[in-house]
Amino acid sequence: MRRKARAAIGCIALTIVLAACGSAPKDKFYTLAPASVMAPATAATASAPARYGVAIGPVRVPEALDRTQMVVREGPNRVEILDQHRWAGSLRSEIARALAAGVGAQLPEAQVSVHDGQAGRNAAYRVAVDIERFDATLNDSVAVQALWTLRQEGGKELGSGRFAATEPTGPGGYDAIAAAYGKALSAMSAEVAKAVRGAQAAPR
C-alpha cells in the first residue's frame, strides 16, 4: 500500500514539474531592420563597384536603455524592463544596423556599413548618432529623438541634424513596437542619406 502511495506521489510530483516546464514563458527576440531592407542588393546594383563608403556609428543610447531587454513606458515616471522580450543584439548595434540598412537603400552607389567592421574603418564618411529618446508605450506609439553628425574620414564635420519622430503602433503588441521603431529609423536614414549625398556632390 505504501509503495502505491509513494508511486502516486511521484507521479503527481512529475506532473507538476512537467506542467511548470510547459508553462515557462519563452523569450522572444526582435530586430529593428525589416527583412525587406536587409535583403541582398539586386544583381544590377551588386555588379557596380561602390564609389565611396559610409560608416554608421558609434551609436550612443541612454544608460537606462543600454541593455538587450525591451523597455516600455508604464507611466510618466515608470518603465518596465521586459526579460522575455529582447533585441536580437545590443540596442546600440540594432540601431546601427537598421540605420546602415536604411542609408544603404537610399545610396545604392555607396558601401554602407556599421563603423566597427573592416569596411567601416575604411569609409570616407562617418555618421555618429546620439540617441536622446527611445520611448515605447505598449499598444500606443513609439518616440525617437536623436542627434547625428556627418564627418569626413579625417574628422572634419560636414553636417549634423536633430531628428524626432513619433510612430503609432496600434494594438499590435511588441511586434508593432519593433516595427514602429524601424519605421522611425528609416525616416532618419533618409535624412542622413540626403546629407551624405550633398557632401558627395559638394566641390572639393
Domain boundaries, the chain: 53-201
Count other C-beta atoms under 10 Å from residue 68's C-beta: 16
| Predicted confidence (pLDDT) at residue 39 exceeds the cutoff of 80 | no
Cα–Cα nearest to 106, from 161, 185, 166: 185
Residue given cell 510530483 in the structure block: 13
Grid cell, residue 204, equals 572639393
Which triple of cell numbers denotes residue 43? 544583381
Quick check: 91 pLDDT over 90?
A: yes
- Give the integer Cα–Cα distance in Å for 60 and 106: 23
Q: How big is the chain by its Cα radius of gyration, in Å? A: 23
Q: What is the pTM of this model?
A: 0.82
- Residue 24: which pLDDT band, with cuts at 50, 70 and 90? low
- CATH number of the structural domain 53-201: 3.40.50.10610
Instruction: Return the number of other C-beta atoms located less than 10 Å from residue 165's C-beta.
Output: 17
